[in-house]
Structure 1
């Protein structure tokens, strides 16, 4: 057996776009693919008649095995490198066989501004002619539309302009430079192209598109929490460059500069977001983050994540020593790092921000309650509030009181949840009838989750869900066990479209949010995600979570136990009991059941007084208890069904009252409480939590990144790095290192401007 005839599927693009799990059984010479993505089904159905070895296709999961054949038994898959089409004997499609184009590197150009390579059909190294800058232009089409050029990994398998890695990044030669290509190494290359009307380039995202008015107090508070994280990132990049230089013997002067569009850059190995510097293949654009590159370089036995082969047939394997460097932020280029005024400011003031006691000079006046969050021995202002769950839950009772933030910070910095009661929402925007009317002209079908069984239901008629929301007799039933389905819209609508789909409801939500300086995405001083440029801001919401009641079943959750990378705000805007159900009887049953759920006396008294507003039963754990909780769940529920599974991040378990009582005996204290209608709940990043709806509920969730929580968010990324390889939904969607970078620099710039204006 000499080679494998299956090159089409074992690639990053299908793993990322379609969530395909791939395994190679070398002993039995079989390649196995497994997916739960419906998008992949239609593609594979088209291929099924071409592949007699397709075992099974159904509506929930696809499994297929490919036999591995030797080169003397079958012709390998070939691809026409000139036009990107498969040859007639390849899979699928037809076309004439073409020559294999070998790419050989040539020496760097004199100015050190760009590095270039030549595409040569005979494998010979060409002589390097003069390199006139006016004979290169940025690639503006997908690789498959360009002759005699290597294809990026995206175009090789799934050619679409939005996916091509080389559009507005690779520069193609013409005239005397025909057949050559290079990559820009500084911003001037992009500026020259931008000045030409013929060459649109990617937008510059170095500075935010919207400016805000930050106070010096806000900047100092932000820097106190972010400057050491920013410094750690810079030191990590410096260590990586030194490691890369030793491994490759390549100079730092020819690091490629890529100006990003709105799409984040993902590592092709672990699928986490790449902040700045990373390794990449010049031929196919295969990109590897610092962590995966270092691990692969230093551990020859490291095979936890697969390094995919290059699209260049003559260079199958990606060797770390043969890769090059690329970065996104020109100000962090090694040649400019030492001269950067912003970095110098960080170095100069590093000690002054290392301890709140060392805040000197003009910033000393900002180090009071604002910085300490009540840490000083001084009386906090009078704010109506109380504590429950052994002081682990702070409940604020005056949502519009500006002094709430002092209590909030004191509690929030310890990674403990905060509940704000009676926020002011407008009920007419959250009634089921409002959603029926406003969304009647939109999509008629949606995907829903059955909370009881965990089954995902595709293309359910929109009105069928709302009919069941109002009337229990009209609910869908599970034909397998003849039970009523408990349905949920999960984080709907997608793609951050709530402001467009329901602008009035979205505006009402924002007007009701307490502590707006922490959650608003556009101008919140303490929502670090708001510092990102508009072109790369992630989808943080707001989103709707609309679900039926789970009561009287107290052993299945509306949302199972899980953790979030970000901090989360959740406002319960609507609760109701379905028609044809006795309201009084249901309230009596709820109180009877809640008495067995481990609620403290204060929370039970509140439930009796406000039974009409009772909505959901929450359980939250401290982030610091995650490891102990994980070990307990492994012992109690057993190991995960899939290798590399995690009992918390798999979102597959609900901890009922019996389990929670046992957790207390094992030294793990759950924070169990009720969320009433118009209660706003703040959940810290990394805190495992679960929720069970006692009534039909409409909730609005919004993710944010607080200064106090950004360090916890970064710790969560380390947990998710391995799991993201198995489930792309667990990846770094919010680009935390970019958040630290932009928030730190903007805070420094604001302080510098204030400093210069006062001198």
Structure 2
């Protein structure tokens, strides 16, 4: 055949190829370029030669004021190298600079007796617990930092981290004109591949719905997780690992693009049978450390798990001891510390096109260049004791928070902890003391010993019962012992959720079991866990109900970026989690980045670890270069 005849017959040359590579490339262009639209604004300049800085390999620039990653253009002091992002520059000119306030948190130990309803030790004289913000002097300095009439911005004074002598000069990281050229190329490819104005999804109902558009409650791929009225999202997509292997991504995408969590069952069916017991993992870490000549072993908590993870530990008053190991390892690669376990986890990951940290074609985080300082997205281990009963204090929980990226969390191992009848009786006594203390501190002291007063969030009048008998049918365990109770809130419910927490924040306890005195951000502070009482009250006052479900052994939970969530371990659990960045949720990641930058400078959620805006630029460049080669 002639070259011309081949070209006429070739699906790729006719731009009608349906092979996996072409479909994925087209999908990447559609999703990534669409998500890149918010970044065009404010990144282009007129034809001005801007000095380009040369960064060392793995070097990254942060704004000295708001701590956000600098993407390309920024201003810098020629004398002291104080760097300021364009957003902060714009806010200074508008007289509304954010993100430069410091916060100081003070927590005082009120004594062991206070933890279980006793009297508090006297607080240090002249000091208050809670949160303090920057001094009036610093606030005055921030308000005095103004731009000149021509728009020039002076370097801030020494108290704000600058030198106060020079004016900030415009600089860039990428070559001049690179962004504009990238935009032109991307728009051209959108047109060539007929992606203009194409919807992200067809809008047609997936197989989870009947022909009349109603949810099919008999579907084996659905799990009821809420009882909201007048909506169709009370059920979550819950395929088995086998279904995931044989189905296309389209069904998953139809749920994922709506911001719905997805639960995948039986992922351990594809494992080799490697044990994920903490004692086995601990030995593997020791073996790896010794073989590499390192005497540094895993954190001390793991050494305690030999028996207590299985059998539990208690304080002298019979109250359960709850220990947690989270975000391990803190910096070094999981695969280096536990190579066999790391390989096993990668093998069982569902939807690898999205979740795999190295080869996921739809994972935007994989598009970073080799010399780029990559964010630490995991995998990470979370090992914790857990009990089925809701204790009210000291529960094995991950408090309410919102991740900047998407995440997948797999429950790899569980162990049930049982208590003797004597210990249960002692726990009941302590819970009654907790309830009296809560009434005294949260409400009118006159109600402190009124057993009829409805402060039932501590459930002191109920016998200790497992979650399966206390929760509604929504959380049916299907005859199994559950591993972890998840509550995931919809993005559209975040404003009402935040309002509820601000209104009721003093009804929650945090460090040293002290009441939460102040709130900076109700979700990003990570100080709240909504127990059954507060979830009920939230629905009564605001009509907000989370997706609530129990994660079983071998189940993977995919959480979309921007969905606040909390977790309580019903058994001792070993979970492995991994972050990823999907094209569908890039805009949400960008929104969260902008939200985090307004937090106080030393807030726990402040640092821009993800660098999602820069990640988008490299992803677009990667896709554009790849498709240009294919279309040459």
Q: TM-score, normalised by structure 2?
A: 0.70
- Whether the 8 Å CA contact 2:69–2:611 is kept in 1: the answer is yes
Counterpart-to-counterpart distance in 2, 1:667 and 1:300: 34
Counterpart-to-counterpart distance in 1, 2:165 and 2:464: 60
Aligned to 2:267: 423
Match of 2:499 among 619, 631, 639: 631
Counterpart-to-counterpart distance in 1, 2:165 and 2:203: 53
Aligned to 1:96: none
Aligned to 2:172: 327
Give the superposition deviation at 1:224.
Answer: 2.2
Deviations 1:619-654 (CA, angstroms, capped at 9, x unpaired) = 000112111110111112259967771111111111
Give the superposition deviation at 1:553.
Answer: 3.0
Give the superposition deviation at 1:608.
Answer: 3.9
1:545 aligns with 2:382: yes
Deviations 1:399-422 (CA, angstroms, capped at 9, x unpaired) = 453315222111110001000000
Residues 526-605 of structure 1 correspond to what in structure 2 (within 5 A)? 526-535=362-371, 536-555=373-392, 556-578=395-417, 592-600=466-474, 603-604=475-476
Gapped regions of structure 2 (runs ≥ 5): 1-18, 102-141, 146-154, 211-218, 226-232, 290-294, 425-462, 508-514
1:223 aligns with 2:223: no
Give the superposition deviation at 1:534.
Answer: 3.0
Aligned to 1:55: none
Alignment RMSD: 3.4
- Whether the 8 Å CA contact 2:73–2:171 is kept in 1: the answer is yes
Gapped regions of structure 1 (runs ≥ 5): 1-212, 243-250, 358-370, 448-459
- Whether the 8 Å CA contact 1:491–1:544 is kept in 2: the answer is yes
Aligned to 1:289: 85
Counterpart-to-counterpart distance in 1, 2:583 and 2:259: 12
- Whether the 8 Å CA contact 1:392–1:416 is kept in 2: the answer is no
Flag the structure with larger Rg: 1
Aligned to 2:598: 722
Aligned to 1:117: none
Secondary structure of the 1:428 match is coil
Residues 515-534 of structure 1 correspond to what in structure 2 (within 5 A)? 515-534=351-370
Secondary structure of the 2:350 match is coil
Match of 1:711 among 563, 566, 587: 587
Aligned to 2:480: 610
Aligned to 2:214: none
- Whether the 8 Å CA contact 1:486–1:548 is kept in 2: the answer is yes
Give the superposition deviation at 1:349.
Answer: 4.7
Match of 2:40 among 234, 240, 252: 234
Residues 650-665 of structure 1 correspond to what in structure 2 (within 5 A)? 650-665=525-540
- Whether the 8 Å CA contact 2:76–2:171 is kept in 1: the answer is yes
Match of 2:187 among 328, 347, 367: 347
- Whether the 8 Å CA contact 1:685–1:712 is kept in 2: the answer is yes
Bigger relative contact order, structure 1 or 2 (CA pairs below 8 A, ≥6 apart):
2
Deviations 1:663-693 (CA, angstroms, capped at 9, x unpaired) = 2232212111000000000001010100100
Give the superposition deviation at 1:722.
Answer: 1.7
Residues 377-396 of structure 1 correspond to what in structure 2 (within 5 A)? 385-389=221-225, 390-396=233-239
Counterpart-to-counterpart distance in 1, 2:592 and 2:575: 25
Secondary structure of the 2:171 match is strand
Query: CA 1:394–1:301 in 2, change beyond 3 Å: closer, same or farther?
Result: closer
Query: CA 1:254–1:375 in 2, change beyond 3 Å: closer, same or farther?
Result: closer
Aligned to 2:568: 692
Counterpart-to-counterpart distance in 1, 2:625 and 2:528: 46
- Whether the 8 Å CA contact 2:98–2:598 is kept in 1: the answer is no
Query: CA 1:220–1:644 in 2, change beyond 3 Å: closer, same or farther?
Result: farther
Deviations 1:286-321 (CA, angstroms, capped at 9, x unpaired) = 111111122113318879545885779xx93166xx
Counterpart-to-counterpart distance in 2, 1:557 and 1:230: 39
Q: TM-score, normalised by structure 1?
A: 0.58
Secondary structure of the 2:353 match is helix
1:513 aligns with 2:383: no
Residues 252-263 of structure 1 correspond to what in structure 2 (within 5 A)? 252-263=48-59
Identify the range of structure 1 (712-721 vs 698-707) with the bigger mean alpha-carbon deviation: 712-721
Query: CA 1:712–1:744 in 2, change beyond 3 Å: closer, same or farther?
Result: same
Secondary structure of the 2:41 match is helix
- Whether the 8 Å CA contact 2:279–2:305 is kept in 1: the answer is no
Counterpart-to-counterpart distance in 2, 1:461 and 1:733: 26
- Whether the 8 Å CA contact 1:283–1:310 is kept in 2: the answer is no
Structure richer in strand, relative to its length: 1
